[in-house]
Amino acid sequence: MTASTLPAGRALSLQIDRDGAIKRGLMLVIALYLVVALALPLYTMLSKSFVTYSFDLTRYEFQVSDDSGTSFGPITSAFDLNQETSRLGPDDLHSTSEGRLPAPDLFADFSFRSPVTYRIRATEPGTSWLVGLERVASQDWVQYDSNSFRRVSLLPATSTGIQNYTAYFSNPALSRSIFNSLFIASVSTVLTVLLAFGFAYALNRSCMRFKGAMKLIAMMPILVPSLLPGIGLIYLFGNQGLLKGLLMGQSIYGPLGIVIGSVFFTFPHALIIISTALAISDQRQYEAADSLRASPLRTFLTVTLPGARYGLISAAFVTFTLVITDFGLPKVIGGQYSVLAIDIYKQVIGQQNFEMGAVVSVLLLIPAVLAFLVDRQVQKKQVSLLTAKSVPYQPKPNAAFDLACLGWCGLIALFILAIIGTCQLAALVKLWPYDMSLSLGNYAFDRMDGGGWGAYWNSITLAGLTAVLGTVIVFTGAYMVEKIDGFRFGRGLFQFLAMLPMAVPGMVLGLAYIFFFNNPANPLNAIYGTMAILVLSTVTHFYTVGHLTGLTALKQIDAEFEPVAASMRQPFYRVFTRVTVPICLPAILDIMIYLFVNAMTTVSAVVFIYSTHTALASIAVLNMDDAGDIAPAAAMGMMIFYTNVAARLLHALLSRRLLAATQRWRVRST
C-alpha cells in the first residue's frame, strides 16, 4: 500500500492584523525620524568632504577701455591676465565655499579713481560673480566704471575629488592632530580603566566602610560638562594655581591637563561598566581556588580577571570613544596642543572652511566607529557567568585589605571633590587669588558674555523637552521593534539605525546638521537656529543608550501578554498602557533622567547649531572661558551641577512614589 500524498498548497504567510499594521507603521515613523535626524545629515556631510572649491580663471573674460572710457582693448581671460602678472599662485586659487577673489587683483595698474571702464563676462553657463553682495551671472558683457569695478569679486567653482583629504594629510600641523588624539585617548583609557577597576574591586570585593558615600562621589563627574574639570585644573595647577608647585615646572596646559581632565569625566562611565562585571561572580569558584591552595594573586589572575574581561574591554572602548571625541576639555585646557575635535572647531568657526571640517569629522568618525564595532563584537561573545546553581559572591572581612581599599577609594574621591570644590570656591570669591573674599558677583551672568541667565533657562527648556519627547520616542521605538511579529528585515534595519548614534561623535553630528538643515532647499530648513533643532540633535545623539535600556526592560516581560490580549480582542495599546508601561516604569524613568542630565551637560552636539536666542548654559561656559571670564564660567558650570543634582533627587523621589504605586506586584506577599 503506497502512502498517499497531499497536493501542494499555497505557502503559509503571516497574516497582519490591525494591531500589527499599526505597530509597523509606528516603527516606520520612528525609523524615518532616525533617517532624517541621523542618516541623511551624515550622508550629506560625507559628500561635502569630497567637494572642493577653486577659482577657475578660464571662466571669466575682461575688456579694459582707454582713459576716455569709450574705446576697449582686446578680450583677455582672467587666466591670461594672471599669467602676465603672476600675482596668484596655485595655493592662492584654492578656496572654500565662502571664498572671494577681488577682480582688481588681476590688474597691476588698477585704481578706483581712474576713468578707465571695465567689462566682464562669463565663458560658461552658471558662472557668476559678485558686485558687493549682488550676484551677477551673464555671458554678455557687463560694464563697470573703476569705482564700481573695485567691488567685483570672482566666485570659486565647485568640483569633486579627494583634494581635501590630500590637503589635510599634506599639512603636518593638521595631520599631527590624529596622532595627538590617539595618544591622549590611549593614555587616558589606560589610566581610567586601572583607576575604575581598583575602585569597583573595592566596592564589590571588600567589606570597607562608606561604600555608599564613595559610590555617590564617584558619580559626580557625570553631572557636570566636560569643560568644568578643565576650569578646576586651571585654578589648581594653572599659572596662579593653588598647587602649581606640585607640577615641578610642567605646564597643566596641554596633554597633561587633557589627560587628567579626561580621567575625571570618564571615570564614572568606566566604573559603572566594570562594577557591573565584578558584581556578577560565583562564590564556588573562589572556594575551589581556596581548596586548591591558590595564592590570592593566582586567584585574581585566573578567576577574577577572566570573569571581568568583557567588562574591562567594554569600559576601555567606551572611555576611548569619549576621550577622542570630546571637545570641551581640550578647548579649555589644551593650550596649543591640537586634537581632531579642536581641528573641527577651528575649521568651522575660525576659518569657515566647512568642507575641511567635514574631512576632519570623517577622520574622527573612523576610530569612534571602529571602537563601537569592536565593543559590540566583544559583547556578543560574552557568556552567562551565573547559573541556577551559582552562589553569589560574598566578601569576607579583612581589616588590612579593607583599609587599603578605603584608602584607594578615598584618594580618588578626594581628587573628584577637589576638582568640583575648587570650581565652587572659584565661583564664590571676588578675584582669584588676590581677593579671596566671598561674593555672588560671578553669578551675575547677564553682565557677562555667553548668553546670561537666559542661556541657563534655555538649557532647562532643552533638557525638559529632550527628557519628555526623547523618552516617548525612544521607548516607543524599542517597544515596536521588540513586540512586532515577523518583519525581520525591517526590525533589523531599525535596530541598526537605533545603534548608529552611539558611534557618531557629537561634533560630527552637529556639523552634519549644518550641511543638511542649513540648506534653503530643505523643507526642514525652518527649524534651523531654533530650539527644535537642539532637541532633535540631543535626542538623536543620546538615542542608543535609552534604546538599549528600553529593550532590556522589555525583554524581561513575558511574550505571551500580547497574544493573550489579542485572543481577548484587546487592542495592543491597551496592553501597552496598562501592562507594559507600568512594568517598565523604572526603565522609563531611568531613560528620562539620562536624557535630562546629558542635555544639560552636552557641548559638542550643539556648539555648531545654537543661535543667539537659543544659547545654552554649557555653551555659556565655553564662551565665558573664551572671553577670559573664567570665574563666571565656573559659576555657570556649578549651576549645571546644582540642576542635575536637583533633577536626580527629584527623580529618586518620584521614582519611589510611582514605583510604590505601580510595582507592588514585585513584592512577594507573606
Q: What is the mean pLDDT of the chain?
A: 84
pLDDT confidence tier of residue 284, bands split at 50, 70 and 90: low
Cell of 646: 536637583
CATH topology identical between 18-47+446-511+524-663 and 166-439: yes
Give the sheet arrangement for strand 152-154, strand by strand: 101-102, 152-154, 129-131, 134-136
Per-residue exposure over 133-158, b if at least 16 CB sit within 10 Å of its own CB, e if not:
eeeeeeeeebebebeebbbbbbbbbe
Sorted by sequence, the CB contacts under 8 Å of residue 559 that are 6+ apart come out as: none
56-85: average pLDDT: 89
Rounded CA-CA distance 592/616 in Å is: 20
In tens, the pLDDT along 179-214 reads 999 999 999 999 999 999 999 888 888 888 888 899
Are residues 244 and 439 in contact, defined by beta-carbon separation less than 8 angstroms? Answer: no
Question: C-alpha cell of 18?
Answer: 490591525
% pLDDT > 90, the chain = 35
Comparing 90 with 619, the larger pLDDT belongs to 619
Is residue 121 within 8 Å of residue 142, measured between CB atoms?
yes
Backbone angles phi, psi at 569, to 5 degrees: 60, 40
Q: What is the rounded radius of gyration, in angstroms, for the C-alpha atoms of the chain? A: 31
pLDDT at 566 over 80: no
pLDDT of residue 662 exceeding 70, the answer is: no
Three-class SS of residue 584? coil
Name which of 171, 563, 507, 196 is nearest 327 in CA terms: 507
pLDDT band at 582 (very low <50, low <70, confident <90, very high): confident
φ/ψ of residue 243, rounded to 5: -115, 30
What per-residue confidence (pLDDT) applies to 63?
A: 93
Mean pLDDT, to the nearest integer, of 534-542? Answer: 94
Write out the three cell numbers for 126: 552658471
Which residue ranges make up each domain of the chain?
Answer: 18-47+446-511+524-663, 53-160, 166-439
For 412, the grid coordinates are: 580618588
**Residues contacting 68, CB < 8 A, separation 6+:** 115
Please report which helix (H) or strand (E) contains residue 33, including its range.
helix 18-34
Inform me whether the pLDDT recorded for 384 exceeds 60. no
**How would residue 536 be classed by pLDDT, with cut points 50, 70 and 90?**
very high
Longest Cα separation, the chain: 117
| Topology of the domain comprising 166-439 | MetI-like fold (1.10.3720)
Other Cβ atoms closer than 10 A to 216 = 11
What is the arithmetic mean of pLDDT over 586-604?
91
C-alpha cell at 408: 584607594
CB distance 557 to 575 below 8 Å: no
Identify the pLDDT of residue 13: 57
> Can you give the three-state secondary structure of 459-484, one letter per residue?
HHHHHHHHHHHHHHHHHHHHHHHHHC
Mean pLDDT, residues 238-244: 83
Give bridge partners of residue 143 from the DSSP assignment: 119
Q: What is the DSSP letter of 502?
A: G
- C-alpha closest to that of 533 among 465, 449, 460: 465
CA distance 637 to 332: 13
CATH number assigned to the domain with residue range 18-47+446-511+524-663, chosen from the 4 options 3.40.50.720, 3.30.450.40, 3.30.365.10, 1.10.3720.10? 1.10.3720.10
Say what the pLDDT of residue 1 is.
47
Max avg pLDDT among 8-17, 186-195, 569-578 = 186-195
Q: What does the pLDDT read at residue 204?
A: 83
Whether the CB-CB separation of 204 and 417 falls below 8 Å is answered with no
Instruction: Decide: 333 and 634 in contact? Cβ < 8 Å.
Output: no
> How far apart, in whole angstroms, are the C-alpha atoms of residue 151 and residue 153?
6
The pLDDT assigned to 652 comes to: 86
Amino acid in position 226: S
Q: What is the mean pLDDT of residues 132-156?
A: 92
Mark residue 293 as left, alpha or beta (left: phi above 0; alpha: psi -120 to 50; beta: remaining): left
CA dist list (Å): 389 to 282, 286, 396, 478, 485:
9, 15, 21, 32, 34
Q: Where would I find the H helices in 49-143?
A: 78-85, 90-93
Q: Which amino acid is at 71?
A: S
Other C-beta atoms closer than 10 Å to the C-beta of 548 total 16
**In terms of pLDDT, which residue wins out, 669 or 169?**
169
First to last CA, the chain: 65
DSSP annotation string for 625-640: HHTT-HHHHHHHHHHH
Cα three-residue angle 302-304-305, rounded to 5 degrees: 75
Confidence of residue 368 (pLDDT cuts 50, 70, 90): confident
CA neighbor of 543 nearest in space, from 582, 498, 588: 498
At 581, the amino acid letter reads V
Q: Is 547 a residue whose pLDDT tops 50?
A: yes
- Give the mean pLDDT of 245-253: 85
User: By the 8 A CB rule, do 442 and 635 touch?
Assistant: yes
Over residues 217-237, the pLDDT tens digits come to: 999 999 999 889 999 999 998
Mean of pLDDT values over 455-482 = 92
Query: In sequence order, what are the residues at sequence separation of 6 or more whose Cβ sits closer than 8 angstroms to the Cβ of residue 401?
Result: 206
Task: Return the higher-pLDDT residue of 422 and 450.
Answer: 422
Distance CA 489, CA 473 (A): 21
Distance CA 155, CA 78 (A): 12
> How far apart are alpha carbons 301 and 291 in whole angstroms?
17
Q: For residue 427, what are the CA distances in angstroms to 457, 467, 496?
A: 19, 29, 44
> For the residues 329-356, what does the mean pLDDT come to?
84
102, containing H or E segment: strand 101-102
DSSP one-letter string for 220-287? GGGGS-THHHHHHHHHHHSTT-TTGGGGTT--STTHHHHHHHHHHHHHHHHHHHHHHHHHS-BHHHHH
The better pLDDT of the pair 373, 532 is held by: 532
CA distance linking residue 385 with residue 173, whole number of Å: 48
Residue 312 banded pLDDT, cuts 50, 70, 90: confident
User: Cα–Cα distance between 344 and 174 in angstroms, integer?
Assistant: 10
Could you report the per-residue pLDDT of 445-462, keeping only the tens digit for each? 888 777 789 999 999 999
For residue 363, give the nearest of 171, 530, 517, 199 by alpha carbon. 171
CB 320 within 8 A of CB 371: yes
Residues in the chain: 670
Q: Report the distance separating Cα 480 and Cα 20, nearest Å.
A: 10
Whether the Cβ atoms of residue 106 and residue 81 lie closer than 8 Å to each other = yes
| Per-residue pLDDT at 655 exceeds 60 | yes
CA–CA dist 626, 637 (Å, integer):
14
